[in-house]
Amino acid sequence: MNEPARAKAAKPLPKPAPESVPYWEAAKQHRLELPKCNACGKFWFPPSQSCPHCLAADFAFTPVSGRGKVFSFVTFHRVYHPAFAGEVPYVVALVELDEGPRLLSNVVGVTPDKVTCEMPVQVVFDDVAADVAVPKFKPV
Ligand SMILES: [Zn+2]
């Protein structure tokens, strides 16, 4: 790494691809919105230029419930980035939303030893910067 050492490391922020800008703009306002196909009616994630179910390019970012369940998860005990040093152990989970798509995120508000697969969760938003909020999930 050629990056100069800093007194306090900052967490990396999302760098949205053009297809993901509406997702992050909604998250900034604490709304979870995913692309929904106007042809077949299905949601998907991550955002892309056409529906992965039917290939239609006619879709709109649409609010979802923010409710789902833990599909799978891992607990990180090791620090892979200095900005996360104060957070281990933490849970990285694949959350399956009630609408179907799965999001990679964190489960927060509970100790890692209490997280289980199928655990019902609800989205919460972590304002990680003045103009960036990251969707995370807490137990219902
Ligand atoms: Zn479709």
Counting residues of the chain whose pLDDT is more than 70, the rounded percentage is 94
Q: How many CB atoms lie within 10 A of CB 58?
A: 11
User: 50 CA distance to ligand 1 centroid (A)?
Assistant: 8
Ligand 1 centroid distance, CA of 11 (Å): 35
Q: Where are the domains positioned within the chain? A: 18-139
For residue 105, which of 86, 129, 83, 122 has the smallest C-alpha distance?
122
CA 58 / ligand 1 centre spacing (Å) = 8
Q: Give the pLDDT confidence score for residue 119 in this predicted structure.
A: 98
pTM of this structure: 0.90
Task: Report pLDDT digits (tens) over 70-91.
Answer: 999 999 999 999 999 999 999 9
